[in-house]
């Protein structure tokens, strides 16, 4: 008698998560997006790639999942290591860089790509009352996201560090106290101008860092829209604009808000990397908290992300809700927890499709 197949998610053949771990409270929100990405990859469907252009504006293009995963290997030859450290970046820090949501490796152990994962609902509460074209998703950015954003940029630009040093050093060398809010606010505009010119000149070095799957509902109801799923991918340069643009708007303020804090941290990172070729991440993040909680970097509401994610696929996601039984396999919906909003939506939608 043939043994019954275990519940599983599409495309995740090799992982540091056991079958049961894929469905946990803080795990499914990253497991499901990777299954969705593997499904799109096998069906030759591309993600929306949010890149920075020469005018420092975010523009939507398309990107293959081979580029996102940095590999031509098929899904069953990839190893998905969740909440792990991307070891090749450790050489850029004098202390532990800690982990990121996902490290893509080959089954032979080659490190391929570190990715943050932000599963977001469309619309969020702030945009649900607006017309559908103005709907957006809230993104909550944590310190690991900005750390890996900076590490990725340093990695791509490492051979240019002498030239980068000449840009960041005039302000960096004059800093007396990186944790002094008065000094940081006074020099904020100069920091921003320096970062802006750096990013404009090094655009060719941007690469994927954040995977943002969206699931679209019928307004604030738990029911999925007919076209329900898609994936947006942010480059590291584009992701930085979530804090740099906001900091520019507030650059004259003497109050260091979260986005200004992220800007100052990024500036200090690039200054130290270009002068020493290594950074002390813990010092940057602990000495520069400016009396704000440290477990969250900042959040961006749907009113703002709608502008950054200005693609037709935000209004009409690529994949229909009917694909759920092709992503959640062998009765995997029974492993979901319907008290959680996303799980509830998938659970009842999957039941309808059976």
Summarised one tens digit per residue, pLDDT across range 30-83 is 999 999 999 999 999 999 999 999 999 999 999 999 999 999 999 999 999 999
In this prediction, residue 18 has a pLDDT band, given cuts at 50, 70 and 90, of confident
User: Is 51 or 23 the better-scoring residue by pLDDT?
Assistant: 51
Tokens describing residue 209: 């860092």
Note whether 96 and 267 are within 8 A (CB). Answer: no
Q: Is the C-alpha dihedral spanning 129, 132, 134, 137 positive or negative?
A: positive
pLDDT at residue 163 in the model: 98
Does residue 341 have a pLDDT over 90? Answer: no
Instruction: Give the DSSP letter of residue 2.
Output: P
pLDDT at residue 304 in the model: 96
Instruction: Give the DSSP letter of residue 241.
Output: H
Digit-coded pLDDT (tens) for 261-311 = 999 999 999 999 999 999 999 999 999 988 766 678 999 999 999 999 999
Q: Tell me how far apart the alpha carbons of residues 8 and 292 are, in angstroms, rounded to a whole number.
A: 40
Strand, helix or coil at 247? Answer: helix
What residues form DSSP beta bridges with 103? 81, 114
Residue that is written with structure tokens 């020493």 in the block: 276
pLDDT at residue 1 in the model: 44
Residue that is written with structure tokens 């969705």 in the block: 36
pLDDT at residue 153 in the model: 98
Tokens describing residue 207: 């690469």
Instruction: Give the DSSP letter of residue 265.
Output: H
Q: Helix 143-156 crosses helix 258-276 at what angle (to 10 degrees)?
A: 30
User: Is 231 or 336 the better-scoring residue by pLDDT?
Assistant: 231
Tokens describing residue 309: 């994610």
Domain range summary for the chain, segments of one domain joined by +? 8-353
Note whether 115 and 85 are within 8 A (CB). Answer: no
Region 180-207 average pLDDT: 97
Distances (CA, A) of 199 to 55, 103, 193: 10, 25, 10
pLDDT at residue 340 in the model: 65
Distance, CA of 323 to chain centre? 24
- Weakest-pLDDT range from 63-72, 78-87, 153-162, 253-262: 253-262
285, 297, 283, 276: which is closest to 91 by C-alpha?
A: 276
What are the two backbone dihedrals, phi and then psi, of residue 121, each rounded to the nearest 5 degrees? Answer: -95, 145
Region 213-227 average pLDDT: 90
Region 105-112 average pLDDT: 98
Digit-coded pLDDT (tens) for 228-254 = 999 999 999 999 999 999 999 999 888
Does residue 353 have a pLDDT over 90? Answer: no
Q: Tell me how far apart the alpha carbons of residues 209 and 240 are, in angstroms, rounded to a whole number.
A: 11
The pLDDT > 70 percentage for the chain reads: 96
pLDDT at residue 223 in the model: 87
pLDDT at residue 351 in the model: 64
User: Is 24 or 233 the better-scoring residue by pLDDT?
Assistant: 233
Note whether 209 and 115 are within 8 A (CB). Answer: yes
Region 102-107 average pLDDT: 98
Tokens describing residue 39: 């499904």
pLDDT at residue 21 in the model: 87
Digit-coded pLDDT (tens) for 169-181 = 999 999 999 999 9
pLDDT at residue 338 in the model: 61
The pLDDT > 90 percentage for the chain reads: 82
Average pLDDT along the chain: 93
């Amino acid at each position: 008698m043939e043994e019954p197949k275990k519940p599983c998610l599409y495309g995740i053949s090799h992982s540091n998560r056991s079958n049961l771990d894929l469905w946990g409270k803080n795990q499914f929100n990253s497991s499901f997006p990777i299954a969705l990405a593997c499904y799109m990859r096998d069906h030759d469907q591309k993600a929306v790639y949010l890149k920075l252009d020469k005018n420092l504006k975010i523009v939507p293009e398309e990107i293959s999942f081979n580029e996102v995963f940095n590999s031509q290997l098929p899904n069953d030859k990839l190893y998905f290591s969740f909440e792990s450290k991307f070891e090749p970046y450790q050489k850029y820090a004098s202390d532990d860089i800690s982990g990121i949501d996902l490290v893509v490796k080959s089954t032979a152990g080659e490190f391929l790509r570190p990715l943050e994962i932000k599963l977001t609902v469309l619309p969020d509460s702030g945009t649900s009352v607006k017309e559908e074209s103005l709907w957006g998703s809230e993104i909550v950015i944590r310190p690991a996201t900005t750390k890996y954003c900076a590490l990725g940029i340093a990695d791509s630009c490492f051979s240019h560090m002498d030239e980068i040093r000449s840009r960041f050093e005039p302000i960096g060398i004059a800093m007396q106290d990186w944790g002094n809010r008065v000094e940081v606010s006074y020099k904020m505009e100069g920091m921003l101008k320096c970062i802006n010119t750096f990013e404009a000149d090094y655009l060719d070095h941007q690469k994927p860092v954040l995977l943002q799957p969206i699931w679209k509902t019928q307004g604030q109801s738990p029911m999925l829209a007919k076209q329900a799923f898609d994936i947006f991918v942010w480059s590291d340069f584009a992701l930085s604009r979530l804090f740099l643009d906001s900091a520019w708007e507030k650059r004259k303020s003497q109050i260091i808000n979260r986005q200004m804090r992220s800007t100052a941290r990024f500036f200090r990172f690039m200054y130290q990397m270009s002068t020493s070729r290594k950074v002390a991440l813990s010092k940057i993040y602990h000495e520069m908290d400016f009396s704000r909680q440290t477990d969250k970097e900042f959040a961006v509401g749907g009113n703002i992300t709608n502008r950054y994610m200005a693609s037709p696929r935000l209004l009409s996601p690529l994949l229909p809700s009917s694909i759920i039984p092709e992503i959640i396999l062998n009765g995997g919906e029974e492993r979901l927890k319907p008290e959680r909003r996303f799980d509830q939506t998938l659970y009842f939608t999957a039941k309808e499709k059976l």
